Structure formats: structure tokens, C-alpha cells
Amino acid sequence: MKGRRILVTGGAGFIGSHLVEALLARGAAVHVIDNLSMGRRENVPPGARFYEGDILDDRLVEQALEGVDGVCHLAARVAIRDSVARFLEDAQTNLMGTLHLLHHCRKRPPKKFVFASSMAVYGDCPHPRPVSETSPREPISPYGLSKLAAEKYVALIGRQYGLPSVRLRYFNVFGPRQAFTPYVGVITIFIQALRQGRPPIIFGDGDQQRDFIYVGDIVRATLLALESDISGEAFNVGTGRGTSVREVAAMLSQRLRPGLEPRFEPPQPGEIRHSIADISKIRRMLGFQPEGGLAERIDEVIAWNRTEATG
């Protein structure tokens, strides 16, 4: 990675800023584009060249792509529930933003284009079984649909213009710097509620299972994809283990507000019942093995949220 120049879109955000740190630590020169709609300027590490603005801005994208030999495209509207009502904004960023970036990349194709996709491309799974990359892809939310459409464009344009690409389907990412919103990151949402003395709200019966993967593992998988010679493939990035939303609430309540029970409300449109990754393909082809489990890392996330509230 030393001596390479990499563009990270969304590099001031939760996952992107961790990725930028890792790239700089490996000796890469890093360009960052972020419109700061969710990201923070202070998240961008010293040493990265920061371009504040949108990936739909022609001039800005051209400047940020100057001289790069790798692109990690993480910029997105990441809100499944919110995308139901705001499907136009979702598509403008997640689909058109991706197409805009591909349009500029085809002029001087970088050596690798890594696209951050989502487990939402698979749609609903009625049983808590791991889904493989060949499982049916029938999104039930505009967010999942925009990510799936963007995936298909990345693969197609990549083939037509000689742009080596990899699509990574991130599952439920958690870790420090995950900004609070009412729609994204159930762990952060629950921590915020419990710290304020409010019961965590569970939509549905709470038995729905998610594959929670630590942000550091997401970064390692992304770096493996960026450095590999593999192209044209899609990979699940998860742990292969499911944890129910009810279990997450209990784990956090025990640490923050013992005895405070969650409140249950009706399921929300567009939300998946179960989402667990089959990671056999990424293990086999990229040598990826997750290291940070939920139980081992949850205290780190709680500590960061406390520091954020006081600092």
C-alpha cells in the first residue's frame, strides 16, 4: 500500500474515517471527499487531503481523482427506514452518485474500485440462516434497491471500461464514531436511549437477528479487497453469527441501566427480519477472518459514546 494514492468517498464518516486512518498508517496518500451531511471534519485524520463537497460535483470529483490508483466508494445515504419515505434522495446519492463517480473513473481507470454495498440487497430472510452471495437478491427497501442497482453498474462498467472492481456487502457495522440518527445503528440508538434513562425501543418482537461486525474488521476486509488481484466479485462482510435485537438490548441495559426493560413497537416498513452473512467466500478468496466480536467490543463503543457526550 505504501506509495499508492487512494480516494475514499465518505471518508469523514463512521467507516470511512477508520479506513482513511488505516490507509495512512500503511503509507498510502489519501484523498477524501465528504459533504459532511453525516461525517465530521474532525474525523478526517491529519495527512489526508480533504475535499469538502458532494460526489455529484463534477469539478470536485475530477480534482479528488487526480493521480489516484485506487478508489474506495463509501459515500452513501445509509438509512433503510428513512429511504422508504425519501426514496428520491436515496437514489440520487446511492445510485446516481455511484454512476457519477464511475463516469469520471472511466476516463483514467484506477487499478481497483472497491464499492461498499450492503446486506440490504438480499431483502427479507424469514429464517435466521446465513445468506451466501448467490442467495436471491430481492430488496424490500429503496436503500437495498439503490445499492443493488449500483452494484450492477459497478460490475458492468468495470467490465466495459477495464475498471477492476470488487463489491463488498457490509452487514451490521458497529464501533466508535458511529453518529447517532433515529434510523441507523441500533447499538448507538440503544446506548443513547439508556444513557438518558429511556427504555430502548424494539420494533417487532425483538427476535430478529443481525450479524454485527466491528468497524475494524470492515476496514481489514476493505483493504484486502483493495490490495487483491481479484476483480468482478461480490463478497459478504460479516461474522457469520447472528445476535437478536432483544439480546443487544439486554446486553446494553445490563451495563448502563440494569432493570430497565425495552419497549416494543410495531415493525417498520422496509426492515429485514433476519440478516446473517455466510462468509465462506471471503474467507476462501481473500483470507478474511473477523476478529472483533460484539461481546468483546461493546464496552469500547459505550466508552466512546460517553466521551462524545462529555467532550
CA distance 76 to 83: 12
pLDDT bucket at 309, cuts 50 / 70 / 90: low
199-244 per-position pLDDT tens digit? 999 999 999 999 999 999 999 999 999 999 999 999 999 999 999 9
Kindly state the average pLDDT of the residues 153-178: 95
The pLDDT confidence band at residue 268, using thresholds 50, 70 and 90, is confident
Task: Give the per-residue pLDDT at 233.
Answer: 98
pLDDT at 152: 98
**Which of residues 186 and 182 earns the better pLDDT score?**
186
143 belongs to the catalytic site: yes
Check whether 289 has a pLDDT greater than 80. yes
Closest CA to 8 of 155, 148, 153, 113: 113
Please give the average per-residue pLDDT across 160-179, as a whole number.
93
**In the structure grid, which three cell numbers stand for residue 14, read together?**
463512521
The pLDDT score that the predictor gives to residue 181 is: 64
Query: How confident is the model over 43-61, as a mean pLDDT?
Result: 95
**Span 171-193, average pLDDT:** 83
Contact 225, 286 (CB under 8 A): yes
The H-or-E segment that residue 73 falls in is: strand 70-73
pLDDT digits (tens, 9 = 90+) for 8-25: 999 999 999 999 999 999
Cα separation, 253 vs 128, whole angstroms: 24
Q: Which domains are seen in the chain, by residue range? A: 5-174+214-238+278-291 (3.40.50.720), 186-208+242-276+297-310 (3.90.25.10)
- For helices 97-105 and 58-65, angle between their N-to-C axes, nearest 10 degrees: 50
Which residue in the list 143, 153, 161, 170 is annotated as catalytic?
A: 143
Closest Cα to residue 278, out of 241, 231, 228, 246?
241
How confident is the model at residue 209, as a pLDDT?
94
Residue 311 scores a pLDDT above 50: no
Instruction: Average the pLDDT over 241-267 and give the result.
Output: 94
**Per-residue model confidence as pLDDT tens digits over 79-135:** 776 777 789 999 999 999 999 999 999 988 999 999 999 999 998 887 889 999 999
pLDDT for 184 beyond 60: yes
Q: What percent of the chain has pLDDT over 70?
A: 96
pLDDT for 293: 85
Closest CA to 222 of 99, 100, 121, 112: 112
* Residue 154 confidence (pLDDT) above 90: yes
pLDDT at 8: 98
**0.85 cut: is pTM over it?**
yes
Residue 200 is given by DSSP the state P
Predicted confidence (pLDDT) at residue 78 exceeds the cutoff of 90: no
Arithmetic mean of pLDDT over the chain:
92
